[in-house]
Chain A
């Protein structure tokens, strides 16, 4: 947990204070894709090596879909109501 905020914070400060050159920023962009794909692969491996998880994958997928649909509906409902009452169109310009 502490590690997560530490790396996120160090990266943030490096970006915020402009310590990187243009090429390094581009490199960071590409590296981000590399880390993401490597991480997804490793996550796939931990799903695949866990018998309990892999055996229940279709059920887990169904539950995951329900979670996705309901969180999206909840978010849209709250944002729609809040924006309707508190953020009238064009008011902030």
Chain B
């Protein structure tokens, strides 16, 4: 899947460079409708997991500490990054607020009139997913299984859930899923907050 995404992205970039301006401007505008269709699909997926909302109550509200840590940690990382790169702190926080959900964060920032920030956010969240895949086995080995949920951010409910569950246990996988759902719901709240 990651490979398919990379290929399609490169095709898109080449298309953007070489296709006629009318076509690219149409596709540029079409992206917001694609986003809405995708979000509708994601919404259905979220709703299908009724039992997860029951799990939250069963496990107690301390389960919320995980997404809380993920979000706070991402924002700190984004803030430090903005300082290091001499960018506006707010922009850095918006970029990091993607929490790995690259298809949403990039487009929100781009549509807010910042295509540079949007591109950084998109790429950084793609990289975040790749880093997640690589780092999880090490995090489980050297820290603890909860830490393996952290890099995944919003993707813990879908693309990276498989690798989390493979490297940890059933209970951690459920916590990861819940954390992913909460992060996913908060990305569209957090990103605009910093724009």
**A:1-48 near B, CB below 8 Å:** 1, 3-5, 7-17, 20, 25, 28-29, 31-33, 35-48
Among A12, A48, A84, point to the contact of B12 (Cβ < 8 A). A48
Interface size class, chain B = 35 or more
Whether B96 and A20, one on each chain, are in contact in the complex, defined by CB atoms closer than 8 angstroms, is no
- Judge if B113 is at the interface, Cβ distance under 8 Å: no
Q: Does B14 contact A (CB under 8 A)?
A: yes
Does B162 belong to the interface (CB within 8 Å)?
A: no
B128 contacts which chain A residues (CB < 8 A)?
Answer: 68, 71-72
B125 touches A45 (CB 8 A): no
Task: Please state if B31 and A72 are interface contacts (CB–CB under 8 Å).
Answer: no
B165 in contact (CB, < 8 A): no
Contact call B43/A15, Cβ cutoff below 8 A: yes
Q: How far is the CB of A83 from chain B (nearest CB, A)?
A: 4
Instruction: Give chain A nearest CB distance to B9 CB in angstroms.
Output: 5
Note all chain B residues with C-beta closer than 8 A to A56: 116
Q: Are A76 and B143 in contact (CB under 8 A)?
A: yes
Q: Chain A's interface: helix, strand, loop or mixed, by majority? A: helix
Docked-complex contact B77 and A44, CB < 8 angstroms:
no
* Shortest CB distance B146–A (Å): 4
Residue of B nearest to A39 (CB): B34
A-contacting residues, B150-175, CB 8 Å: 150-151, 153, 171
CB neighbours of B28 from chain A (8 A): 42, 45-46, 49
Name B residues whose Cβ lies closer than 8 Å to a Cβ of A. Answer: 1, 4-5, 8-19, 21, 24-25, 27-28, 30-31, 34-50, 59-60, 62, 65-66, 68-70, 72-78, 80-81, 84-85, 92, 95-96, 99, 103, 106-107, 110, 115-116, 119-128, 131-132, 135, 139, 143-144, 146-147, 149-151, 153, 171, 188, 192
Given contacts A7-B43, A48-B14, 15 further A-B contacts (CB under 8 A): A8-B42, A8-B188, A11-B45, A15-B46, A28-B44, A43-B106, A49-B25, A64-B119, A67-B95, A69-B77, A70-B81, A74-B74, A74-B80, A78-B76, A79-B70
